[in-house]
Structure 1
Amino acid sequence: MILRHLIAQSLPSNLFSLLLLLSSTVYVTAEDFDCHVTTEGLTWDLTQLKGVQTLSRTRESPPTTMLDELRFSLCDDLPTLEDVAEGDQCFSGTRACLRTKNQKEGYDDRVIAVIPVAQSSSLGPEYKSLTSPKGLSLTFHGASYPSNDPIPQSIQFSLLCADTTDPTFVAYENGTVHVEWSTPSGCSTAEQSPPQEDDKTGDGGSSDSDEKPTESVGSGLGFFFIVLLLAFAAYFGLGAYYNYSTYGARGVDLIPHRDFWREVPYMLQDVVSHLCSTVRPRRSSRGGYIAV
């Protein structure tokens, strides 16, 4: 607290606020990561991916074979392995552990490397949305390895928005393990489900996406009447103000074009009478007499 106070006095307020923001972004602990990710206005729920995953790959190096075994857990620390020597596995507090075994026919497997590529003490989760294909890029960090020529370790997950498949150990390069995993959990909450191919008609016609959306007639008609009502209100309001300010009118005399509005009921009556006389069937005068 004292150090922060001294820094705040020696730096401009805007710069000090920026440094605080950066520090709060960089130093993220495992307790802050609950398998719910929000970034770039999108949200992911990764709780369905809980549990330990074990991946492996082999690399031929005659006369031996290298077996890379990757164990990771997105939401919790890895449990210790039973019946495995303490020195042949990652210590407690590890999220992702990479072990390399040397295999040779006629000999027991020999563990030659144990690398904690992600640790809870330095997890520092980093998020980035993927656009093509859609998904989430999630990176965890670990300690440096080895001790004589240290390289910062990390593991990067590419969680793709698609149907569920098993995770794939893609590569281990420059201290970073790359894992690709297709899963519905890779879809943000705005997408809800994995993208599907457009359905097409059986006769090879165009897809449903080609159809134009129908317009809402009701909403357009309601908008028209609202505009018409507002226009009438403005007409009567401005007309009344004009008659009051110009002629000093009061009461009924405030109505603009008062004589016209008085005649409106009679004009409507004439229109209705004319329509009724037009629609009413005419009676025949056959067989009658005409006065001379």
Structure 2
Amino acid sequence: MRFSRAAHFYIQAAALLALTRHASAQDDGFDCRFSYGDLQYDLTPLAGEHRIMRERKSPPTTMRDVVKFNLCADLDIEDGTDARDQCPAGTRACLITINEKDDEDDRTVAVIPLATSSSAAVHVQRRAVADGEFALAPKGIILTFQGPTYPDSSDDSWAQTFNLRLTCSTESSGLTFSDYDGSDMWAEWSAPSGCGFGAAPPDSGSDKPNDDAEEGDGSSGSHMGSGLGYFFLLLLLAFVAYFGLGAYYNYSTYGATGLDLIPHRDFWREVPYMFKDVVSHLCSAVRPRHTNRGGYIAV
């Protein structure tokens, strides 16, 4: 079958449209569900638009930095607000700087897209060490959302990032604006979603429980073995202390030397013979007795 040039054009356009839709379907944006290491994370309880801010005094004005963000979806475009005073579509985190002065209207002096919705622009790392400290930090993760450069039309532009330190906690609290240096914006948040769940199952044949699991039957054997080891260790230390203190007493009191230093030497000299008698008695007790034909028991 032969096609006209117009038909070929429409076929190519349809194929290009299909490829574009397929490519966009490959990255529908970060959806707040992911795995990291041996844990699964679901941040959907933290979904929705949140706002945090800080104020910087610069008399006679005050600079107020407001950060709007939504971890799980793009920020909504606000109707009735000038497009120049809000971030474009496809933004996950937006910083707006407002200049305030008494008796004058507030002025928006900067609108900075901090993060995009692409899942490829989101990076996760585990909180390992507290900033500037050697002590271990609380359990949790750090989310880094990458954004475009700002300003995009200047030679002196900086790549923007929105960084969230998400700490494991029993309840949500402490959402704060931590810092912004013109490129990296940092926020702090404590929430149960930062704990993770569903650790990978242990290898087959291994009874080692998860770190967060309650102690059960699988740990009783290890505790029993540990207790038995401590018992023998204490017994050995008691013997060492007994012989050491006894030898010192015999030396300091009687001036004993050599084998005479052994405390209760006569008793320990008889121990091998007592052990031999015990073994002999046990052997005779378990040895089967044979009877003769007359019914007498051999003595």
Q: Sort the TM-score into its range (normalised by shorter chain).
A: 0.5 to 0.7
1:44-74 CA distance string (max 9 Å, x none): 1111111000111110000000010100000
Please report how far the alpha carbon of residue 161 of structure 1 lies from its aligned counterpart in structure 2 after TM superposition.
0.1
Contact 1:123–1:142 under 8 Å retained in 2: no
Residue 120 of structure 1 deviates from its aligned partner by 2.2
Q: Alignment partner for residue 139 of structure 1, among 116, 138, 144? A: 144
Partner SS state of residue 68, structure 2: strand
1:195-249 per-residue CA deviation (whole Å, 9 max, x = no partner) reads: 99xxxxxxxxxxxx9xxx74499xxxxxxxxxxxxxxxxxxxxxxxxxxxxxxxx
* Distance apart, 1:42 and its partner CA: 2.1
Relative distance call for 1:104 and 1:216 in structure 2 (3 A) is: closer
What code does the residue aligned with 2:162 have?
A: I
Structure 2 counterpart of 1:62: 59
- Read off the aligned partner of 1:47 and give its amino acid letter: T
Q: Which residue of the partner structure matches residue 42 of structure 1? A: 39
* Distance in 2 between residues matched to 1:57 and 1:72, nearest whole Å: 15
The whole-number CA distance in structure 1 between the counterparts of 2:159 and 2:105 is: 31
Distance 1:64 1:136, change over 3 A: same
| Long gaps (5+) in structure 1 | 1-28, 197-208, 218-266, 271-292
Quote the RMSD (CA, aligned, Å): 3.0
Which of 135, 153, 159 in structure 1 is aligned with 2:160? 153
Q: CA deviation at 1:122?
A: 8.0
Distance across 2 between alignment mates of 1:105 and 1:123: 44
In structure 2, distance between residues paired with 1:94 and 1:61: 29
Residue 125 (1) aligns with residue 122 (2): yes
**Structure 2 spans left out of the alignment, 5+ residues:** 1-25, 129-136, 200-210, 224-287, 292-299
The answer to whether the 8 Å contact 1:158/1:179 transfers is yes
Amino acid at match of 2:178: V
| Preserved CA contact (<8 Å) 1:30 1:124 | no
Q: Which moved more, 1:36-45 or 1:66-75?
A: 36-45
Using structure 1 for the length normalisation, give the TM-score: 0.55
1:16-41 deviations in Å (ceiling 9; x for gaps): xxxxxxxxxxxxx8525221121222
Q: Which amino acid aligns with 1:186?
A: G
| Residue 90 (structure 1) aligns with | 87
- Give the corresponding residue for 2:28: 31
Identity value in percent:
41
The answer to whether 1:168 aligns with 2:176 is: yes
Which of 72, 77, 80 pairs up with 1:80?
77
Q: Secondary structure at the match of 2:127?
A: strand
1:1-292 equivalences in 2 (<5 Å): 31=28, 33-121=30-118, 124-131=121-128, 132-146=137-151, 147-148=153-154, 149-162=156-169, 163-190=171-198, 214-215=220-221
